[in-house]
Amino acid sequence: MSISNNQKRKMKSAARLYAVQALFQMEASNQTVDAVVREFEDHRFGATYEEGEMTEGDVDTFRALMETAVDDQASIDQMTDRALVAKWPIARIDPTWRALFRAAGAELIRKETPPKVVISEFVSVAEAFSNDGKEPKFVNAVLDHMAREARPEAFGS
């Protein structure tokens, strides 16, 4: 069975959302990356809940984001800190946004996806978690700064 390009895009988008959720869960529960990855792949990808069916995630994208976010967390967090205003070091921001910036930062430093696509995808994830509609603008601004630092060649500077 072949998968359409549209379906592949949806699976990659789902993998990004799952990576944010998994990174959040790791921080909240002190679980290892291996345990969380296993749980997500075994129980979340394509699972059916009362609210509906979860999209099947792209396993390779999910694993790559998780591995990079964990292995390079210190440098990603430093890049995020530089993108945040001085009064808001990454340790002070909501764990959901911390997880999102780590997943997005991982994808930016992997350099496989154009930065504008990474920003757009993670702003969409932010919209899913947004309470008042302001967070996606904040996420967009921080990710734009991170992307320019991680991938200056993509911005012609």
pLDDT tens string 10-27? 889 999 999 999 999 999
Per-residue pLDDT of the chain (157 residues; tens, 9 = 90+): 567 888 888 889 999 999 999 999 999 999 999 999 999 888 877 766 665 556 788 899 999 999 999 999 999 999 999 998 766 767 778 899 999 999 999 999 999 999 999 999 999 999 988 888 888 988 999 999 999 999 999 987 5
Burial category of 40 from C-beta neighbours within 10 Å (exposed 0-12, middle 13-18, buried 19 and up): buried
Write down the CATH number for the domain with range 5-152: 1.10.940.10
Closest CA to 139 of 100, 82, 110, 85: 100
Domain boundaries, the chain: 5-152
